[in-house]
Homo-oligomer: A and B are copies of this chain.
Amino acid sequence: MDGERNREVELTIPMLQDMELAASRVAEALAEVLKFDEEKRAEVSMALLEACINSFEHSKSEDRKVYITFQTAPDELKITLRDHGVGFQRESIDPPKIEEKLRPGVRKRGWGLKLMESLMDSVAIDSDEYGTTIVMVKKK
């Protein structure tokens, strides 16, 4: 346990334009340290980018911060992202479909969760009125 905690990287970013890049860079650097291939590095990096943007845009958190913990194991990177925002219900969000999105008047947005889920090996969302926690794992 202690050994694991000692491998943690913690990052707190403010909810400001472009700050998601700082987070995604850490993800990429750690994926490099773990010797993930370039494609997987880019995948982790983009999944975290999307998760950060969701917190920035939707959480309405008062402290305007996203708290991220990176845990490295020899063959996986686990990323836990938290915001202290209003939360949401994953179940109530329909998966986006391009055919529908292309219809006139339909909101084109709504791809972040789908991308995260497609790019990572697992994504677990725990969200309530005190905030949202997302645990994402990418295997080597």
A residues near B, CB below 8 A?
Answer: 6-14, 16-19, 21-22, 24-26, 28-30, 32-33, 64, 70
Contact = CB atoms under 8 A, between A and B. Distances in A.
Nearest to A65: B6
Number of copies: 2
A29 to B, nearest CB: 4
A5 to B, nearest CB: 9
Contacts of A16: 6-7
A6 B14 contact: yes
Contacts of A19: 9, 33
Contact of A9 (B9, B13, B64): B13
Nearest to A9: B13
15 contacts: A6-B16, A7-B16, A9-B12, A9-B14, A9-B22, A10-B10, A11-B11, A11-B12, A19-B33, A21-B29, A21-B32, A22-B26, A22-B70, A25-B25, A25-B29
